[in-house]
Amino acid sequence: MTMNVDKKDESGDFNTRSDGPDHDELRGNQRIAVQLLLQSKLNVQAWKHLGVSLEGLGLLGSAYKAYCRASLLDPHWKLEQSAEMRAQTKWQEAIPKWLNDLLAVPPVSVAACILARGEGDLLAEMVQQLMASVDEVIVVDAGCPNDIMRHVVQLGAQVVEVNWKDDLSAARNVGLSHLTSDWVLFLDADETVSQEDVEVIREVVGLFHDEAQKSFLRIIRLNHIGDELITHDREIRLFPTAYGIHWGGRLGEQIQLPPDENPTDWTEAVVRIRVHQHRYDTKQKGRQQRLEEDVQLLRQVVGEHPEDIGAWSALGQALFRLQAYEEAIECFDTVEMLAPQYPEYAPLSEARVTLARALMAQERWLEAIGVLERSLQNDPNHPSSHFYLGQAKMQLALHLLTEARESFANSQTLVNEYQGNSAYDVNIGKWKAACGIADTHKYQGHMIQAYEGYLKAQQENPDLNVFQKQTLLLELQAKEIVSMLRNRT
């Protein structure tokens, strides 16, 4: 199909010339998508279909804009091959006026409110990052060093001091009372926002501001913990300020509406604002102290509210990070006991994974496997449950292989000492036990020990070809590895 792109009309159609039917179908799909988006700019599927139509028409820059809007409203959506890459490898055309009008959002003011309690390493960086993308930055100082506070003031932030009383909601609500913007994004001082997402904060609130149904917006949170990058989208962090919304719960986990607001008038949505948390990152200074402070606060919370499944889970997570495995297991046992009362508790699989990891740290492999299999019964597609089930089974297998080697060695020794009346296989002492010992080394990846074991058994039993096959196989694998290493250099 050949095509020439000329001018566009105001309805979203492109005046194009084509010699095939595909072009007419693409234009029709484009027209339908535009009409749907004129009704609601939150229609994710319409943005996706618009992008596909524009890409099919060869308008890659315009397609990229539509795809970006779709991913903003559906952050879990992944395209097989990104429109951005396709556009970069070909060309970027001017964006037509009708599409710019469709992408436009009303100007809405937004604030960032940052709670800082003892942390400071990332605070100045985050304030500087946000200043150009929001209308005001409020830092709630719950005990940060004075030099850091002076620095963020110089960067343009407003600092509000609070007397920290082990209550995240109270501190956040103080910051909320000092805002003048239409919307607010809540962050902590040990967090950063992905750079490409900082630039779309105003775009996000503009999209939701004038919708008939009012919205709480959840963000994508990425926790950096050593070699782990744990992600979820459960946390509401972005909401309008005009309705008297405030935080509740000492852990700052509850959004509370005033009595005159009907909860059915509100909905939740996830948006592509990725927040990186570094609170428990092993690379950050003061990690141990922060964990101990969290444990102290969480112990108070579960003491006051012993039915709070979320607090028990958070306490178990913190204790696990402190390597207090037995205490962590006790916390997660409480979570398991409370779980039937909270059938909608979303992080249950996450709690079970950490329980299993604590059990694995104590070499309680079978118990860990049972916990993870139970997790997968309730949440069959949970990636971490599958991964750590594999880990538990592998560690159990390695443990059993070590025990198997001990059993083979015992059989090899006892075959010459046994004086009982039960029959036994004499070949155990001649070659079978030696073969079993070498097999365990092979399965555990101890290839040199395995090769030496097979070779010795072969020399002692030259009439048996089983050992020759094994030594030849190991020699062939060794040659293949050497060849691969040579090719790499």
268/166 same-domain check: yes
pLDDT 10s digits, 21-46: 578 899 999 999 999 999 999 999 99
Does residue 7 have a pLDDT over 70? Answer: no
Does residue 402 have a pLDDT over 80? Answer: yes
- 258: DSSP letter: -
114/234 same-domain check: yes
252/134 same-domain check: yes
Task: Give the domain-ending residue among 75, 103, 131.
Answer: 103
Question: Taking the model in full, what pTM does it have?
Answer: 0.84
Do the beta carbons of residue 395 and residue 365 sit within 8 Å?
yes
Domain that holds residue 371: 287-387
172/219 same-domain check: yes
Do the beta carbons of residue 415 and residue 433 sit within 8 Å?
yes
Query: Which residues fall within 8 angstroms of residue 426, CB to CB, at 6 or more apart?
Result: 415
Q: Read off φ and ψ for residue 239, nearest 5 degrees.
A: -155, 160
pLDDT at 58: 87
82/28 same-domain check: yes
Q: Name the pLDDT band for 145 (thresholds 50, 70, 90).
A: confident
Q: Does residue 410 lie within any of the structural domains?
A: no
Q: Does residue 195 lie within any of the structural domains?
A: yes
Structure tokens at 246: 């405030």
Does residue 119 have a pLDDT over 70? Answer: no
Q: Does residue 316 lie within any of the structural domains?
A: yes
Cα–Cα dist 457/451, whole Å: 10
Does residue 8 have a pLDDT over 70? Answer: no
pLDDT at 15: 43
Cα–Cα dist 172/142, whole Å: 10
- 322: DSSP letter: T
* Between 355 and 288, the higher pLDDT residue: 355
pLDDT at 399: 96
Does residue 474 have a pLDDT over 60? Answer: yes
* Between 72 and 10, the higher pLDDT residue: 72
93/119 same-domain check: no
Alpha-carbon separation of residue 241 from 85, 178, 245, 271, 352 (angstroms): 38, 11, 7, 18, 36
Q: Name the pLDDT band for 1 (thresholds 50, 70, 90).
A: very low
pLDDT at 16: 43
* Between 282 and 137, the higher pLDDT residue: 137
Cβ neighbours, 10 Å, residue 137? 24
Q: Does residue 409 lie within any of the structural domains?
A: no
- 432: DSSP letter: I
Are β-strands 136-141 and 158-161 bridged in parallel, bridged antiparallel, or unpaired?
parallel
CATH number of the domain that residue 97 is part of: 1.25.40
268/120 same-domain check: yes
pLDDT at 10: 44
Cα–Cα dist 427/408, whole Å: 12
pLDDT at 12: 47
Does residue 121 have a pLDDT over 80? Answer: no
Q: Does residue 399 lie within any of the structural domains?
A: no
Q: Name the pLDDT band for 48 (thresholds 50, 70, 90).
A: very high
165/273 same-domain check: yes
Q: Does residue 60 lie within any of the structural domains?
A: yes
150/225 same-domain check: yes
Q: Read off φ and ψ for residue 203, nearest 5 degrees.
A: -60, -40
pLDDT at 2: 33
Q: Does residue 429 lie within any of the structural domains?
A: yes
190/270 same-domain check: yes
37/114 same-domain check: no
Does residue 451 have a pLDDT over 70? Answer: yes
Q: What is the mean pLDDT of residues 8-27?
A: 58
Q: Does residue 73 lie within any of the structural domains?
A: yes
Task: Give the domain-ending residue among 222, 250, 277.
Answer: 277
pLDDT at 122: 84
Query: Which residues fall within 8 angstroms of residue 358, CB to CB, at 6 or more apart?
Result: 316, 320, 325, 328, 329, 332
pLDDT at 488: 86
3-class SS string, 85-150: HHHHHCCCCCCCHHHHHHHCCCCCCEEEEEEECCCCCCHHHHHHHHHCCCCEEEEEECCCCHHHHH
pLDDT 10s digits, 59-109: 888 998 999 999 999 998 876 555 555 555 455 678 899 999 999 999 999
Do the beta carbons of residue 113 and residue 186 sit within 8 Å?
yes
Q: Into how many domains does the chain fold?
A: 4
Average pLDDT, whole number, for the chain? 89
**SS3 label, residue 420:** coil
Task: Give the domain-ending residue among 103, 137, 169.
Answer: 103
pLDDT at 278: 86
CATH number of the domain that residue 351 is part of: 1.25.40.10
247/362 same-domain check: no
pLDDT at 91: 52
pLDDT 10s digits, 315-374: 999 999 999 999 999 999 999 999 999 988 989 999 999 999 999 999 999 999 999 999
pLDDT 10s digits, 209-260: 988 889 999 999 999 988 889 998 989 999 999 999 999 988 877 899 999 9
pLDDT at 79: 64
